[in-house]
A and B are shown apart, each in its own frame.
Chain A
Amino acid sequence: MTISAPRMKSPVSAAAPARNAHSGVSGRTFNVVAGIVLVVFAILWLIPGLFALKTSLTDNGTAALGASAILSDWNPTLKSYASLLGAGDIWNWYIASAITSVVTAVLTVFFASMAAFALSRLRFRGSGVVLLLIILGIMIPTQVLIVPIFKELNAMSLLNTYWSVIFPQVPAVIAVFIFKQFFDGIPRELEEAARLDGAGRWRVYWSLVMPLSRPVLAAVTILTFVGVWNNLLLPLFVLSNPDLMTIPVGLATVQGSYGQRYADIQAGAILAALPLIILYLIFQRRIVEGVTGSGLKG
């Protein structure tokens, strides 16, 4: 399925870099050209983000004049950030995003790894059916379920609670898959020994398998966190009260009434992204590996 093989052993970033085997003249020229082309494109890729950052540090009045005024303005100000962070709404949104993302990530990792442990390590009647259901589950495009999920949450009186965002995102079937593949690769000799020592199944799971699985646990935790933080469709429809909205939904739906305050808008866009940028800078390697290994997105 989406996972072609969990590459938890850092395929990308450990990057034994360039292949210097081909060090002929054509190779060297090629490398120089490659470097130049790449730098040009990388700059091109950075421009929109930097432009947004520059705008967010500009006065609203100047920003309203347009791009050339923003680019030629040299009076950076934090006014927009101050006014957003002072207004309260954004704190509600941050908290909603933080709670839903953290709780979903914890529940998903916990429950999915338990299920994967059973599938990988325990023999039981019906395991084939469970596996089949897991496969089916991976194929189900969850976005398309927004209508029935809304109806269900309404029946459960969960609309406009954080749970309405958390619960539907817990059954991330792909996580079971990733965990199962990783667990399958853990040598059984270890747990045989533990079993001989009288450890129960829970203990094997919790004290043996889980600690050995920290790379994959971290990857799934981070990716789930990012996925929930970034989700728009579900919270857009199940959280309709601005006090309870997550930050992407709040920014996307609640408008300032003073007309276009471009600096404020760009500051909001950056504030919504800030935790993820920090996360990326800390866990760069894990995130890239996790994404490569799972193709979780989509």
Chain B
Amino acid sequence: MTTATIAATTPLAARGTRHANTASPMQRNDSRSAWLFIAPFGVFYLAFLLGPTLYMFVMSFFNTSLVHSGLGTFAGFANYAEMLSRPDFWSSLWHTLQFTLYTTPPLVILAFVFAVLTNRLNRGQWFFRLAFFLPFILPSATISLIWVFVFTPSTGLWPLVETWFGVTPGSGVLSSPNTAMIGVAIATVWWTLGFNFVLYLAGLQDIPRELYEAAAVDGASTWAQIRYITIPMLGRTTTLVVLLQIIASLKIFDQVYLMTSGGPGISTQVSLQLITNTAFTDNRLGAGSAASVLLFIVIIVIAVIRQLVDRSAARKEA
């Protein structure tokens, strides 16, 4: 799994650029300077990426405390046994899944529709990019403060709009266990749709214009063009978008922490929150690490699946 992997996973390199096999002009005595070039990044990589990853595994087998130095007493697999038997561990994973299910369809469909429509316009593209994409680069704190305010029970903008439509506002979207996650999902769709939107726009640029021209000559309607050209040609982008969304969902923390703090009760608590609560509120870094390892494994598995999908797609293309 060395260079081959890279070639397979990085289309640019895989597409065999000019110099893939040409000898570098710098091949002599490169080793020392190469390591010097790599060293600064390498130090940070080892200290703050690989190191913590390994340390997380180690700590997960100990009763490490937040308030004492050192690892503490050896716990064996107790932390794992605990996590796997805790209902709130499983419910946090379920909430993550719930969040994925709520956000992925609108994020894919709306982004696709907006992109296809925007792409057809001669003018004003900048405006739609601004409207749809700008929220994506704003801090989660801004997003959450805005939406919590919009969702304010009885006096907020949301209940106001509800009354316009003849709906009697309830006790507040975020205050009920049944709707709190929907509220978080709405804010998230608003926040991150722009990312998928620009991905789709980019994908649309890659569709050869000739395809449409040929279709138009054949008398294909606009709908038919979208149905038989655009949607299939954007298949890869859609796969990418869905997988990225799943991985992002597994790592969700900000919106939930800021909008509901996992509540009411623990009805919206997600995995990273369980981890930070265990580590920093219960003062149990060891148990928190065990939960981290479990989440880590889930994410890696999905990342590997994504790799495989990517690779098979690349192969199909080739």
Contact = CB atoms under 8 A, between A and B. Distances in A.
A98 interface: no
Q: DSSP majority for the A interface?
A: helix
A127 interface: yes
A146 B240 contact: no
A84 B276 CA distance: 30
A249 interface: yes
B299 A144 contact: yes
A212 interface: no
B121 A295 contact: no
Contact of A123 (B30, B41, B205): B30
Contacts, number: 387
B304 to A, nearest CB: 8
Nearest to B303: A139
A66 B48 contact: no
B266 to A, nearest CB: 19
A30 B113 CA distance: 13
B204 to A, nearest CB: 9
A192 B26 CA distance: 8
Nearest to B219: A24
Nearest to B110: A41
A148 B142 contact: no
Q: DSSP majority for the B interface?
A: helix
A48 B55 CA distance: 43
Contacts of A247: 139, 141
B125 A151 contact: no
Contacts of A128: 2-3
Interface residues of A, number: 134
A298 B247 contact: yes
Contact of B55 (A20, A135, A151, A287): A151
Contact of B26 (A122, A170, A279): A122
Contacts of B303: 139
Interface residues of B, number: 129
A254 to B, nearest CB: 11
A74 interface: no
B81 interface: no
A228 to B, nearest CB: 11
A38 B117 contact: yes
A210 interface: no
Given A115-B41, A121-B24, A150-B279, A27 B34 contact: no
Contacts of A141: 247, 250-251, 295-296, 299-300
A298 B24 contact: no
A257 interface: no
Given A131-B3, A188-B25, A148 B289 contact: yes
Interface string B100-132: 000000000010011001111111011111111
A140 B125 CA distance: 36
Interface of A: 1-7, 11-13, 15-22, 24, 26-27, 30-31, 34-35, 37-38, 41-43, 45-49, 51-52, 55, 65-68, 71, 107, 110-112, 114-115, 117-119, 121-125, 127-133, 135-137, 139-152, 154-155, 167-168, 170-171, 173, 176-177, 181, 184-185, 187-188, 191-192, 195, 201-202, 204-205, 226, 229-230, 232-233, 236-237, 247-249, 251-252, 262, 265-266, 268-270, 272-273, 276-277, 279-280, 284, 287-288, 291-292, 295, 297-298
16 contacts: A4-B11, A19-B120, A21-B216, A30-B120, A42-B131, A43-B131, A51-B157, A122-B26, A122-B33, A143-B272, A148-B59, A152-B47, A229-B139, A232-B139, A284-B129, A291-B137
Complex A-B, nearest 5 residue pairs according to Cβ-Cβ distance, in ascending order? A66-B155, A248-B141, A118-B37, A124-B34, A128-B2
Interface of B: 1-3, 5-6, 9-13, 17-19, 22, 24-27, 30-31, 33-35, 37-38, 40-42, 44-45, 47-53, 55-56, 59, 64, 69, 110, 113-114, 117-123, 125-142, 144-147, 149-150, 152, 154-157, 159-160, 190, 192-193, 195, 198-199, 201-202, 205-206, 209, 212-213, 215-216, 221-223, 225, 240, 244, 247-248, 250-251, 253-254, 257-258, 272, 275-276, 279-280, 285, 288-289, 292, 295-296, 299-300, 303-304, 307, 310
